[in-house]
A and B are shown apart, each in its own frame.
Chain A
Amino acid sequence: MKYVEYINKLIKDEVLRADRMVIFGQNINAGSCLSGLTKNLKVKKGNLIINTPNCENSLVGIGFGAMMNGVSAAFMMKQQDFLLLGIDQLVNTYNIIRQRSAGEGSFTIMTIIVDNGYEGPQSRLNHFGDFCSIAGIQGFTITNTADAKEIISSQFNAPGFRIIGISQRLFKQEIMEMNVLSVSPDRSVFQYAQGKQATIICFNLSLPYGVVMAGRLKEKGLSASLFSVNSPVPVNWDELVHDINKTGTLILIDDLKSRNLASDNLLVKVLGHCTLKQKFIIRRRPEENVFSPHHDQMVIDYDHIVGQLATEWQGGLKSAEI
């Protein structure tokens, strides 16, 4: 099943089950229905599916108003860049109403992050963390079957407000089927593997790169712990720090183009609490942060990293043998 089909199925189930639900957005019920994301939605009698006009700032405010009135509102967006128009509501409205109990009311913005490249200077923003951090908004990204299921079922209709970001570059790919070992209570950190020689930590939408990395290490007989940090606002790093200290090697992958990175917070923690044998920090190099149409993908030298680790561990094994 494709990534977008899987998420569509989960949303359909949530929307069909919900009471007092309004799901809205531009073109959500017309044409390709956001490339399949909102296809074939059905709601209970009296609930609404609305193809809205193009007015994002108002649409964000409308979501908050509906939530204040005890309704489950979901604003489905074709492109995260358009959420920039709603920043006033995201910050100024939420900063007030967050202080009250939302009661049963829920508001979810689910937005497609245009990270597939070549869309041009005004369709390149993958700075999910910035949207969340600007008003301390809960946010979650989705890359695979496990986090999709967990996040959509626990968040889509839950009381309160959050943003869920999904990746356009993954839309037409087969969705990664992942088995989860553990999920943190706030669903900010998902662990997918436990290993001995390295700790791979992926941020934002970069888990697919981490999966490749883990696979390449495995080919060399090296095992890695694999984590995804799906949420950009305060994360409890203790478990990750514990794992890094066990393996002694950190491979950090963060695909965000922002200059304000949750992975920096982790690194500060690591600096104070970990002794590392090796570290590989894979992030956007400044020269990769291009504003013209561009492939936009992370370029990772897997061979180099695997080579370094293999050498280290061969050396380690030899000395252990002696």
Chain B
Amino acid sequence: MEHQDKIKIAQEVLRLRLSQILVNDRYKKGDFKVPIHLALGHEAIAVAVSAIMEGKDQLVLTHRNIHYNLARAGSLKGELDEYYLKPQGLARGLLGSMNLDNDNRGVVYSSSILGNNLPVAAGLSLGNKVKSQESIVIVVTGDGAIEEGSFYESLVFLKSNGLSELIIIENNQWSLATRIEERRCPIDLAKFADSLGVRYEIFSSNNPFEYISKLADYRQWSLSNKAPVCVEVQLTTLGHWRMKTDGYPEGKFINYHAGPAPDVDSQKDYIFTSTKEDVVFVLREHFKKEEIEAMADRILSQLQKEIA
């Protein structure tokens, strides 16, 4: 990948991160009436999905859609206005956060009902087949939503009907406040997909450059082979905090699910962990620290100007 392209991608990652931090600042002040699910830590896959979308490709999202919407819209203002339910919002203030879509940029449907979007995406893929349209549907789901029967049913339908589709499973290990092992047996998605003859791939590096080149290949493969591809993305939703309660002198770990993240603030650092769980840390393997800082400073001030 050319260095120039890498810079653009890194800037996108930082834009998504910083935009969310600015949303969080306002959220903490009590600005929004609608509930918002931030996706700090999910930036790499969102940047990659948006980067590989072409022509009439369609994106179908969930309750946690801020990262994809920011990536597709290319700006923060419209999304922020939507959260304020203003008529100039991305969806004219009619959808708020959990159902936010943006037809002009290929985000055709977002559902806050777990599993609800998967059959809809399969129907869109079916439509592409009927219209002989060479475009792909990309649907996002989570480790909690795949517990719904519609995940299984949709995959069976896609495979049975020779439909192209990318199914992105954002696996953060959590469904609200329960970790996988607190609510169910493990689901081996590789074996599960294999049992249906569906191609399965896994992302865990949090490396947006790798994600883009691989996803672009899967897109092409899915179209050429008229078959769906499941892509499990292992990631960490950042923004947790510790709540001091009896019996937890260190504070009890509270996983971030939705609402304002109390410890996240534009006055503080925009990198949260020094591990690959944080895509900004991963970027540091590709750029000098000062380069990232310079980019982040520039983007933050642009964003602040944009929403002033």
Q: A82-B113, A85-B148 are in contact. Are A120 and B95 (CB under 8 A)?
A: yes
Determine if A119 and B35 form an interchain contact, defined as CB atoms under 8 angstroms apart.
Answer: yes
Q: Which residues of A contact B112 (CB under 8 A)?
A: 120, 122-123
Question: CA–CA, A238 to B11, complex, Å?
Answer: 71
Can you name the residue of chain B whose Cβ is closest to the Cβ of A121?
Answer: B99
- A54 engages B144 (CB within 8 Å): yes
User: Considering the chains assembled together, what is the distance between the CA atoms of A119 and B145 in angstroms?
Assistant: 19
Which residues on the B side are within 8 Å of A32 (C-beta)? 177
Q: Select A55's contact among B99, B147, B177, beta carbons within 8 Å.
A: B147
User: Which of A31, A54, A121 is B148 in contact with, Cβ under 8 Å?
Assistant: A54
- Taken together as a complex, chains A and B put the C-alpha atoms of A84 and B112 apart, in Å, by 13
Stretch at the interface among B119-127, B178-186, B202-210, B280-288: B178-186
A130 within 8 A of B: no
A56 to B97, CA, bound (A): 24
CB <8 Å contact, B178 and A30: yes
The count of chain A contact residues (Cβ–Cβ below 8 Å) is 27
Contact A30 B182 (CB under 8 A): yes
Report Cα–Cα, A84/B277, bound state, in Å. Answer: 36
Interface residues as binary, A64-87 with B (CB distance below 8 Å gives 1, 0 otherwise)? 000000000000000001101100
Q: Decide: B98 and A118 in contact? CB cutoff 8 A.
A: no
User: Which of A51, A57, A120, A291 touches B178 (beta carbons < 8 Å)?
Assistant: A51
Measured CA separation A30–B174 after assembly (Å): 11
Contact with B along A140-179 (1 / 0, CB 8 A): 0000000000000000000000000000000000000000
The answer on a CB contact under 8 Å between A53 and B183 is yes
Chain B residues with CB below 8 A from A117, complex form: 33
> What are the interface flags for B143-177 relative to A under an 8 Å C-beta threshold, 1 for contact and 0 otherwise?
01101110000000000000000000000000111
Q: Is A27 an interface residue (CB 8 A)?
A: yes
A138 within 8 A of B: no
Taking a contact as CB atoms under 8 Å apart, the answer to whether B176 and A26 are in contact is: yes
- Beyond A54-B145, A118-B96, A292-B95, whether A26 also contacts B183 by CB under 8 A is yes
> Do B94 and A53 touch (CB < 8 A)?
no
Residues of A within 8 A of B35 (CB): 118-119
A54 touches B115 (CB 8 A): yes
16 A-B contacts, Cβ less than 8 Å apart?
A27-B177, A30-B178, A30-B182, A31-B178, A32-B177, A52-B184, A53-B147, A54-B114, A118-B35, A119-B98, A122-B111, A122-B112, A122-B113, A123-B98, A292-B85, A292-B95
Measured CB to CB, the residues of B under 8 A from A are: 33-35, 85, 93-99, 111-116, 144-145, 147-149, 175-178, 182-184, 254-255, 257
